[in-house]
Structure 1
């Protein structure tokens, strides 16, 4: 298991380098000039060029990237070109909001998805068909559209929950929870359907195996077979689906944070893109990639718990 973890951590280094390099290239290709954004449209060409030189923007992109990478390896993600504040301070201030949404959506999706998948696999018939219909609807409904509908109905018309904003957990746990309900539901709908479908297919495959019939012949109850053996053997596809959902939902936070006006990492990236605030965009990329690495590592560790063969690999 230790060897597996070390191998995954070793692979995370080139992942972070490649991801940040691609982000650097993409931002470099976007039309616009951060020096012009800072000085405004009335600045002369000489003033803009002088600021570009002072910011180091006149250097080739790979020289700029290597300079940033050297600072990042020392724990310095640079300073925002626009706000002139340390990038790491901005990221740390917004990270709790993004984590609250992503972790909340993942937990809700995992609990409801596994429960629905187990129910449809055990009962079959109409339950399985209903799960398929629900899955199709979940995949077809765009997150941002669902978020707008929830705001219009639940927040504006019914006035049950706040439409926008975010309250830190440390300030008011109750207000924090209320602010998260609509964004979490918006992101979790697709996750519930995906995890439910994967759970049902994996569980049906396990329940059809010969050793399950042997356990039934030995007098084991259906609930005991399900909990002790079926779910454990179907666990790897289920854990994989949960991990894939977590990684995918990170991208969904960009739109959801915009819809609900939540000050998270996605909203920070959206605001930094038109301004060519490269240090901020690279910092967001580092944080997102780090979250992906952590989740993949947790998934691999769970594989090892569920399957001894993985621990020996």
Structure 2
């Protein structure tokens, strides 16, 4: 685990450098966006000099990096607020989506996979069809369908917005139900398929036949042996799905007009708000590192033999 933490440092540097370069080659710049289309060349040049945009790209990055090491990610060009304050304010929305989506993907995927492996028949055929459906439809397209059916037609859930836990647990869940379902679809199918394949492989082992011959109950075999061994590869897939959900959050938050990090990334890209973009890159990287560390912890909990140092 300590090695993973050390690897996070070069990862943060690489991500921030890549984002800096990509943002610099986008058409336009922050000065032009602030002053508008009617800005004169003189006013643009003066504002660029004031913002440091006239410096070489490596110098701009060095100035940002030296401040970031001290915990200063700068100030939003358009909001005028501290970048950390802007990100932390929106962080609970994205974290709520990520946590609930992870629970849905893990629990529903594991249950469907185990049922398909143990029962087979129509459940297995349903899982195959469900997997094809989940992988073929993009999350944002599925989100639009959910809004149309359950927010506009039936009006069972809100079409847009976010309610925090301070507004009540029920309201919080109510506002997140459709976004979480949209984000969880593809991940649930992947975990279910992996769980089924792994469970079938474990069930075919000679050790399972020996346990059955010794009179061990199917329930005990399923939960103490099959689930324990099949959960490790499924956990790997779950970790990949959670990281992929960060990308999905960008689209989902925009569809449901949720004030999270995904929508902030979209706004900052459109307005060339470099300090916010770089700050988001750091936070997203930290989330990825945190997910990988959590997967390692789960590995160790499921099977102590695979614990990492």
The equivalences for 1:246-265 within 5 A come to 246-265=242-261
Alignment-derived partner of residue 276 in structure 2: 280
Q: 1:43 aligns with which of 39, 44, 52?
A: 39
State the aligned residue count: 309
Give the Cα separation in 2 of the matches to 1:162 and 1:306: 38
- Partner SS for 1:274: helix
Alignment-derived partner of residue 48 in structure 2: 52
Give the Cα separation in 2 of the matches to 1:35 and 1:105: 38
The equivalences for 1:208-219 within 5 A come to 208-219=204-215
Give the Cα separation in 2 of the matches to 1:153 and 1:235: 34
Alignment-derived partner of residue 31 in structure 1: 27
1:312 and 1:261, CA in 2 relative to 1: closer, same or farther beyond 3 A?
A: closer
The equivalences for 1:145-156 within 5 A come to 145-156=141-152
Q: 2:89 aligns with which of 86, 90, 93?
A: 93
Shift of 1:281: 0.7
Give the Cα separation in 2 of the matches to 1:54 and 1:312: 49
- Partner SS for 1:170: helix
Please say if 1:291 is aligned against 2:287: yes
* Runs ≥4 residues deviating over 4 A: none
Alignment-derived partner of residue 241 in structure 2: 245
Shift of 1:66: 1.5
Where structure 1 has 5 or more consecutive residues not aligned to the other structure, the ranges are none
Shift of 1:191: 1.4
Contact 2:296 2:308 in 1 (8 A): no
Alignment-derived partner of residue 225 in structure 2: 229
Give the Cα separation in 2 of the matches to 1:300 and 1:135: 27
Q: 1:129 aligns with which of 119, 125, 131?
A: 125
Give the Cα separation in 2 of the matches to 1:190 and 1:311: 29
Please say if 1:179 is aligned against 2:175: yes
Alignment-derived partner of residue 22 in structure 1: 18
The C-alpha deviation readout for 1:188-225, integer Å capped at 9, x for no partner, is 11111111000000111111111111111111001101
RMSD across aligned C-alpha pairs, in angstroms?
A: 1.2
Where structure 2 has 5 or more consecutive residues not aligned to the other structure, the ranges are none
Give the Cα separation in 1 of the matches to 2:86 and 2:57: 24
Q: 2:80 aligns with which of 68, 84, 90?
A: 84
Give the Cα separation in 2 of the matches to 1:159 and 1:302: 39
Alignment-derived partner of residue 198 in structure 1: 194
Contact 2:296 2:307 in 1 (8 A): no
Bigger shift: residues 298-307 or 144-153: 298-307
The C-alpha deviation readout for 1:3-61, integer Å capped at 9, x for no partner, is xx101101111111111111111100101111111122222111111111111111111
Shift of 1:63: 1.2
Shift of 1:312: 6.4
The C-alpha deviation readout for 1:212-263, integer Å capped at 9, x for no partner, is 1111111100110111111111121011111111000110011110110000
